[in-house]
Amino acid sequence: MVFDTMVPMRALEPSTQRRDKSNLVKPKSKLPARKKREENVSEGGKLTAAMTIPAYQKFMRPVLEALRDGKPQALTAMRQDLVRTFKLTEEQCAARFETGSHRNIYQSRVGYAVKYLFEARTVRRSGRGVYQITARGLTMLHHSPSEITTSDLGHYPEFDEWLRRSAKKDR
């Protein structure tokens, strides 16, 4: 058997040299991207609909107040109540993130508020997209200041544990 070309054995062995990683693109931090998404300023420097939608923490107390009667309530009905509470316009409710995703900003922020309250065990799911306030939620509603923040939820060990697990996933 005759070979036309000979390949040096060294070429077939795995390289022992370190690869040059200087030309590789490093993944960007999520925080600046998140800030960039929420900075929806039009060219004239005017506020857009997205900028006037409250942050998710502003929705936490109104979500608990909407569930105050103890009856299960659908998330869609809760969102409609919150639109009236915050006097949001149709434009604000329809605003989407500018990153190419089709996620609705208002729905996303209400969703984060409900998720955080759920992880702190202040609300529970009684069905798909249906929530109910818990005894802990009623206590928080009666004893908390006018606004509930993430640090208020941090007093509950279940919430802290969830935050730790979430932080590990993001690494």
In a domain, 113, yes or no: yes
CATH assignment at residue 75: 1.10.10.10
Predicted pLDDT of residue 49: 60
d(CA 119, CA 60): 12
Structural domains in the chain (count): 1
Please check whether residue 121 lies inside any domain of the structure.
yes
List all residues 6 or more positions away from 48 whose beta carbon is below 8 Å from its beta carbon: 40, 41, 42, 95
Q: Which domain holds residue 53?
A: 48-170
Domain annotation covers residue 5: no
Domain presence at residue 37: no
pLDDT at 42: 41
Look at residue 130 and tell me if it is in a domain.
yes
pLDDT in tens, 63-111: 999 999 999 999 999 999 999 999 999 999 999 888 777 889 999 999 9
Q: Please report whether residue 151 resides in a domain.
A: yes
Below-50 pLDDT ranges, the chain: 3, 7-17, 19, 21-46
What pLDDT is attached to residue 4?
Answer: 52
Is residue 156 a part of any domain in this protein?
Answer: yes
- What residues contact 63, with CB distance under 8 A and at least 6 apart? 78, 82, 110, 113, 114, 117, 123
What does the block give as tokens for 40?
A: 């929806």
pTM of the model: 0.70
Residue 42 domain-assigned (yes or no): no
